[in-house]
Chains A and B, each alone.
Chain A
């Protein structure tokens, strides 16, 4: 082993230089400089699509092994995927129906309210990353496809999350269970206004902030989005109110986040 060799001195000098470079890079990135943004978008797109390409042989092997396993299964099991897809479709229609009924109820109460219609875009989830900081999903469409920061991500008319950052051909999204996610909502038949925030302690719970001083929930009350300043379309289902054994309410997201494959982006024209 070399003791205080010139190589080690070089290494320490390099460490110092790279920490300085990293700090400068961090502050430039944070400043949202428009020229650096183009560089960042390009670098992110290259890295994301390269990672997907590098991982594709592994994914292919995993898919093939499951296909081979399916080959030896009954016909009933082979059709399992078809059944799941039909169940998804049925669920989507049911959710849309519930959401529409809620919207009709609202429209009855508030005359002259506009029924917003938004363009949608189907996207594929390229990656799902979860760490101590946040749960991020990376989708295969970006600013080049008209996606903007804050656009909602939905599946079967259930709110999954929203777009956090965009690149040219990919975007980052956060889930509604993330503590950095804030969604304006209405709750139940009495239409209480609130903000849904992720629960830092449990991923299968949602926190409700800015509730009125007096409120009374019923079991299975729906939580659905409301349009404030056009940041979110009306009537997308978010979750349900439930009561625990101590008769305390809690909010539960409707979407099963373990099944993130294809999503729909609602394009808001701000």
Chain B
């Protein structure tokens, strides 16, 4: 049982984060999802911490993205594009490195966000909704800045036994 949980820990944590996103926990009067995109951090961190992780060849990641779109009232495929961009960058980063260097991982996470956020902005605008650029910029910055905290929690505490 523990082995099974260990095998699917990334999918379980990601799925839980999508579900918990609908439970409101406010910081300074705004929900966490307003400040940061937890799913993008989790996808990147799990992939970079375990290069063999592939979320069931991407199928689980795709299904979770559909659930996220459904719960947020977004057009299907919106989250999936972002998730796979971040996952792709993490896969590339984990294939070119010989050992874990935190700074280079953080920079490449920033690069994946630079690709993702303009695409999110484009997709939402294209779907006919207005987006506040300051909100999306704040989310981008906080997601990037808080990466080390989650890196410490996940890489050092949860996945400390994973062979890197």
Residues of A within 8 A of B (CB): 1-5, 7-8, 10-12, 14-19, 21-26, 28-30, 40, 43-44, 47-48, 51, 54-55, 58, 127-134, 136, 138, 164-165, 172, 179-180, 200-201, 203
Q: How far is the CA of A249 from the CA of B73 in the complex (A)?
A: 34
Q: Do B129 and A180 have beta carbons less than 8 Å apart? A: yes
For residue B74, give the distance in angstroms from its CB to the closest CB of chain A. Answer: 8
Q: Mark B87-99, 1 if CB is under 8 A from A, else 0.
A: 1100110110110
Q: Mostly helix, strand, loop or mixed at chain B's interface? A: helix
- Contact between B57 and A10 (Cβ–Cβ < 8 Å)? yes
A47 and B71 within 8 A (CB): yes
Residues of A within 8 A of B73 (CB): 129, 134, 136, 138, 164-165, 172
Verify if B110 is at the interface (C-beta below 8 Å from A): no
Mostly, the A contact residues are helix
**Are B72 and A14 in contact (CB-based, < 8 A)?**
no
Contact B130 A4 (CB under 8 A): no
Q: Is the CB of B84 within 8 A of A22?
A: yes
- B154, CB-defined interface residue at 8 Å: no
Contact yes or no, A30 B80, CB < 8 A:
no
Pick the contact of B85 from A19, A48, A131, A133 — CB < 8 Å?
A19
Chain A residue contacts of B51, Cβ below 8 A: 1-2, 8
B78 within 8 A of A: yes
User: Residue A22 contacts which of B34, B65, B136 (CB distance < 8 angstroms)?
Assistant: B65
Bound-complex Cα distance A129 to B73 (A): 9
In contact, A133 and B54 (Cβ under 8 angstroms): no
**CA A180 to CA B92, docked complex, whole Å:** 38
B135 within 8 A of A: yes
Q: A24, A43, A132, A179: which contacts B33 (Cβ < 8 A)?
A: A132
Q: Is the CB of B91 within 8 A of A8?
A: yes
Task: Write the nearest CB–CB distance from B39 to chain A, whole angstroms.
Answer: 11
Contact A129 B71 (CB under 8 A): yes
Is B164 a contact partner of A132 (Cβ separation < 8 A)? no
Interface pair B52/A2, CB less than 8 Å apart: yes
